[in-house]
Chains A and B, each alone.
Chain A
Amino acid sequence: MRAFVTVGSTKFDDLVQHSLTEEVLLSLRNEGYTSLGVQCGNSNFEFASVVADGSEHALERAGVSVEVWKFKPSLEGEFDKADLVISHAGAGTILDVLRKGKRLIVVPNETLLDNHQSELAIALEEKGHLKSSTVTGLAQVIEDVHKVNLTPFPPFDGHKFAGILDETMGFL
């Protein structure tokens, strides 16, 4: 199985660095994961200088083969390949991953002043669609997320907005 860590276009040093610790990698290994992709964005961490030129860095740690890189034009393929996605709380990533029916752990960046992103993570966790975690609690949540049945996220329904607009403009 494969896990994927993404921070989008943000800089989230703690999440990227912590994902590469023995603690988190062992927790993934225990759940049956043998590979991990890490999209580190602009984060500063132990391999930041190695991937600075846009290259990919591969390593083997705690029985998990890890690839680290900064950006790709689209993460869709990465979401498809992954069985578990660990992400910063970006709304776009949350929607994309949940719509693909993938297990999702969201780690809000608590160093940001505007915490409306963690509000979204908490609200979706209350509805059972995902698990939210702190950076330090990640190993435990990786274990927890495999014990619960997450609620499937409803598919996109284009008729809802069309209905609102048709009603407003007198088409209905």
Chain B
Amino acid sequence: MEMFYLSLFLVSVTTIALRLYAILPRPTKRVSAITKEGDKATCSLSVFLGSGGHTSELLAMISGLDFHRYQPRIYYVSEGDTLSANKAIALEKSKASAGGSTQVHETSSPSSATAFVPERSSSTSESEDVLPYTIVVIPRARRVHQSLLTTPATALVSLFWCQYHVSLSSVFRPKTNPSKPTRDEATSVLILNGPGTCLTLCLAVYVNKFFALPSPVIIYIESFARVKSLSLSGKLIRPLVDRFIVQWPQLLQDVKMAEYHGWLV
């Protein structure tokens, strides 16, 4: 009987290990999703706004995107980070008033931190001018001064919560325009730039990958402030992402699979 459980255990471990190996990004793998449909297609965009400098850098980067192409958009913010949510709303407003063009916007003006942050401020695209976006608040994995004993529980809640939203956004994504081509799994992208909480979203995507559910392409961009050494979240997330981009060439020497395309902020 013990032999049976032992072999069952070994088979399970081996299966899980092989599955994990199979879903990890390959250096040679080219991510190419919408080659045939060309610019008629859209791509769903999810970003995590990690507060402070992380938020500023990420919003600056996506301010140059064609928002008609990258829709719907989901902004994940940490519980209580109203400043990031307001900055995202400000960017959406300025893009909407500019007709969603690729025009470059300043994202540095911080708005009042007291404004109400809706759980879902989504607007479905009835007309072409309405740009659909959603702000999703992630429960904190660990509150300041929270006991280490209860941390695993709240961290799990945070993970499951992210998992639910990642699955929801990739599986049941509503079509914004029925005439547009059906978006397959690869036509959604998750952009992360730290700090630690962004790992939760990345892990949530891996739960989807593990069960062969639709999952987004993950891109991580290391901060402009990181010249010689990666941040902790950068180090941890590097093997898990499809593209790992740094903003200083000095980092290319030590970091496998990293890419450098100049300053992006």
Q: Which residues of A contact B186 (CB under 8 A)?
A: 169
Least CB distance, A62 to chain B, in whole angstroms: 33
Q: Describe A's contact surface by its main secondary structure.
A: helix
> With the chains together, A122 CA to B227 CA distance in Å?
9
Q: A91-B223, A119-B228, A160-B262 are in contact. Are A165 and B65 (CB under 8 A)?
A: yes
Binds A, one of B53-61, B115-123, B203-211: B53-61
Q: Is A96 an interface residue (CB 8 A)?
A: yes
Q: Is B245 an interface residue (CB 8 A)?
A: yes
Q: Which residues of A contact B109 (CB under 8 A)?
A: 74, 76
Q: Which residues of A contact B223 (CB under 8 A)?
A: 91
Least CB distance, A94 to chain B, in whole angstroms: 8
Q: Which residues of B contact A160 (CB under 8 A)?
A: 64, 261-264
Contact B224 A91, beta carbon cutoff 8 Å: yes
Least CB distance, A169 to chain B, in whole angstroms: 5
Contact A123 B227, beta carbon cutoff 8 Å: yes
Q: Which residues of A contact B52 (CB under 8 A)?
A: 92
> With the chains together, A76 CA to B107 CA distance in Å?
12
Contact B31 A169, beta carbon cutoff 8 Å: yes
Q: Is B136 an interface residue (CB 8 A)?
A: no
> With the chains together, A64 CA to B41 CA distance in Å?
60
Q: Describe B's contact surface by its main secondary structure.
A: loop
Name the residue among B61, B186, B187, B191 with the largest chain A CB count within 10 angstroms.
Answer: B61
Q: A91-B224, A95-B265 are in contact. Are A171 and B38 (CB under 8 A)?
A: yes
Number of interface residues, chain A, beta carbon within 8 A? 30
Contact B33 A170, beta carbon cutoff 8 Å: yes
Q: A156-B265, A160-B264, A170-B33 are in contact. Are A165 and B224 (CB under 8 A)?
A: no
Contact A169 B64, beta carbon cutoff 8 Å: no
B contact set with A: CB distance below 8 Å: 31-35, 38-39, 41, 43, 52-53, 56, 60-66, 69-70, 102-104, 108-110, 112, 186-187, 189, 191, 217, 219, 221, 223-229, 231, 242-243, 245, 248, 250, 261-265
A-B pairs with beta carbons under 8 Å apart, 23 shown: A95-B265, A116-B228, A119-B227, A119-B228, A120-B225, A123-B250, A156-B60, A157-B64, A157-B104, A158-B65, A158-B102, A158-B104, A160-B261, A160-B264, A161-B221, A161-B264, A163-B261, A164-B245, A164-B261, A165-B189, A168-B243, A171-B34, A171-B39
Of all A-B residue pairs in the complex, the 6 with the closest CB atoms, nearest first, are A158-B64, A91-B225, A158-B104, A170-B34, A119-B227, A161-B61
